[in-house]
Amino acid sequence: MSAHCANACSATGVENIETGTTVREQTELHVCNSPTRELVYSDRDFIRSGVVWLDKRRVGLNSDCGAGCQPLSRFDSTLRSGWLEKEKLGFFRYHLGDLQTKILPGPHGFVAQLNIQRGKERRKPQEIQSIRQSFNPNQFNFNKIEPGEILFEIRKQNKHEPSTEPQFSTASNGQSVSGTDAAQIDPNGPADLDDGVTHTKTLVVINVSPLEFGHCLIIPEPALCLPQVLTRDLVRIGIESVLLSSHPGFRVGFNSLGAFASVNHLHLHGYYLDHMLRIESARTEPLCPRRAFHLLSDTPAGFLFYTEGERLGALIHNICKVTDCLVEKNIAHNLFVTRGRPPGTSLHSGPSRPGIRVIIWPRLSCFGAKEETAFNVALCELAGHLPFKNREDFDTITEAEVTEIVQKYLLPENEFSMLQSQLMHVLHEETLNTENLYCNVVVMLKNHDRSVN
């Protein structure tokens, strides 16, 4: 057994009298000596239609039938059952239970939840000093988690693999890297999902201090020790995870350094929230429609990309153009991926969620160690989901107070407008460059045809 597994298997728990080991130790010994479970998927597994809120507020998240008795996808079933199993085995720092939840009065419909234990039991966040802070192997990172915290490894099927029905398999060596194909030439950008994207080993693990049911961390190739800066591969797996879920309440999000990321080791958060959020259908304004780039003009203002599962390569490319620009400018940011309505639809346009909204909020940086009992504005709070860690705030806060607090973390209006112009210019230039490349290729092909004929 490796030193890592040996250390991980020293936890305490209920002792088995016959063997002298605890139930948790036995479980972790099994995990240490067993391969990681692997979910292999393809585009055929994406849920592109039929995702609907069947009840506007409460849809029975913890019921077996999922969102209003919609059939759960393979991804949902595996994540949910595995998460519940880890809860029974005692891998979490506290029992989540049914969180006290209320909708704050007002047009924003903020979803407030009381989770006192998260403020008390959560691992102390790291002290962050820079948006581009280097990875520090001496601090906590996801190479130090217990093997029993791993739910499964997720991997997209290599296009060169034989076409088979999507299934779970067992990874023999823990490596899941597949090849890439050249991008198709397209005037709107690379349509091929694999353009420039590597299929690395990606782990899905429990968050031991959960904020909601199914709270997990999505970690690409932990051994690479990547800092908390978005990559194309991570954006891809975040969007595709939401597409793999048939539940309208499954969300994925990212906190950059300086935007209340707690660990400087590349990861996404994923979780189920059993309530609709305003941002799923909030008002938008087109900025660069050909790049699926829009302004989320509702409070809090941000930038929005939209897709219904097609042309993901182009979408990922454009999202990373924006986030790369933010990193270059040392602007902290949060990203949120959720099922939603198409841009331009009215706020109350029905319960159907035909596509994916990817929202990016540039914001003021917050450095140093965050206060865990405070109301910290990160991906959840910007999206309208408000986890509170003390009862007084939960009982007394109003929508107006929340809006005022959130606004303090956002860029001033003039800085936001300037950034918006800069991002539009970046994407417009990208469009022109791609169109020029497309035209050149078309001319070359025509000349080739003439020479052949």
Paired with 334 in beta bridges are: 255, 361
Around 171, how many Cα atoms within 13 Å sit in the side-chain half-sphere? 19
The C-alpha atoms of residue 280 and residue 342 are separated, in whole angstroms, by 9
User: What is the three-class DSSP state of 131?
Assistant: coil
The C-alpha atoms of residue 239 and residue 317 are separated, in whole angstroms, by 13
Side chain identity at residue 24, one-letter code: R
Strands (E), 176-331: 202-206, 216-220, 250-255, 268-272, 284-288, 293-296, 302-307
The C-alpha atoms of residue 317 and residue 50 are separated, in whole angstroms, by 27
CB-CB contact of 377 with 110 (8 Å): no
Note every long-range contact of 195-199, with CB atoms under 8 Å and residues 24 or more positions apart, other chains counting.
195/313, 195/317, 196/232, 196/317, 197/232, 197/233, 197/236, 197/313, 197/316, 198/233, 199/155, 199/156, 199/158, 199/233
Alpha-carbon distances, residue 74 vs 182, 298, 334, 422 (angstroms): 30, 34, 28, 41
Alpha-carbon distances, residue 193 vs 43, 74, 290 (angstroms): 10, 22, 17
- What positions carry a catalytic annotation? 267
Cα 277-321-438 angle, rounded to 5 deg: 120
End-to-end CA distance of the chain: 68
Alpha-carbon dihedral angle through residues 285, 288, 290, 295, given to the nearest 10 degrees: -30
Handedness of CA 313, 318, 383, 235 (dihedral sign): positive
Angle between helices 232-244 and 74-88 (to 10 degrees): 90
Phi, psi of 411 (to 5 degrees): -65, 145
DSSP 8-state secondary structure symbol assigned to residue 315? H
